[in-house]
Structure 1
Amino acid sequence: MAAIKPRVMADEQYRSLLTEREREIIRGEADVSESYYYRVVSRVRDKIEGLEHDLEVLEHHETLADELRGVVCDE
């Protein structure tokens, strides 16, 4: 039986909060139904809520939480 190798993402495959597709949809550049648009908006809202938990984890690092605040809060 072959061992399952973990999927490794190249650095350029990592993304921030939004996928490129979500960006296109929210900018109005994608031809999607109104219901799909609102599903994407709902997904993004869920991700935003998840940032609270991520921030709690980032507080364990000496600079990462402040770096996030600096970007989000435009300090």
Structure 2
Amino acid sequence: MARTRALLTQTEREWLESDETESGSRRYQVVSEVRNRIEDELTEDVTVLAENHPDLLEELRDVVCKNDE
């Protein structure tokens, strides 16, 4: 089965992992695009999960919070 992205594409991961001085404005553009996804799309997804599938929302929280420890 083909892999799909969660929040970042493979290319975006590479840009974010690159040296900031080498990647220049493209890196900042990627940061902006990801920030917009978090603020807009992810917020809406969380709302849909909370209303329609709280178990999946809990799984999402577990993954996000586990990586935060």
Do they superpose with TM above 0.5?
Answer: yes
Does 1:51 find its partner at 2:51? no
Larger Rg: 1
| C-alpha distance after superposition, 1:7-61 (max 9, x if no partner) | xxxx4241110000000000007xx641111101100101111211110001111
Q: How many residues align?
A: 63
Give aligned-pair identity as a percent: 48
Candidates 62, 69, 72, aligned match of 2:64: 72
For residues 46 and 11 of structure 2, the distance between their equivalents in structure 1, rounded to whole angstroms, comes to 25
Please report the RMSD computed on the Cα atoms of aligned residues, expressed in angstroms. Answer: 1.9
Gaps of 5+ in 2: none
> Could you state the TM-score of these two structures normalised by the residue count of structure 2?
0.78
> Could you state the TM-score of these two structures normalised by the residue count of structure 1?
0.72
Higher helix share: 2
The residue number in structure 2 matching 1:63 is 55
Gaps of 5+ in 1: 1-10
Query: 4+ runs of 1 displaced by more than 4 Å?
Result: none
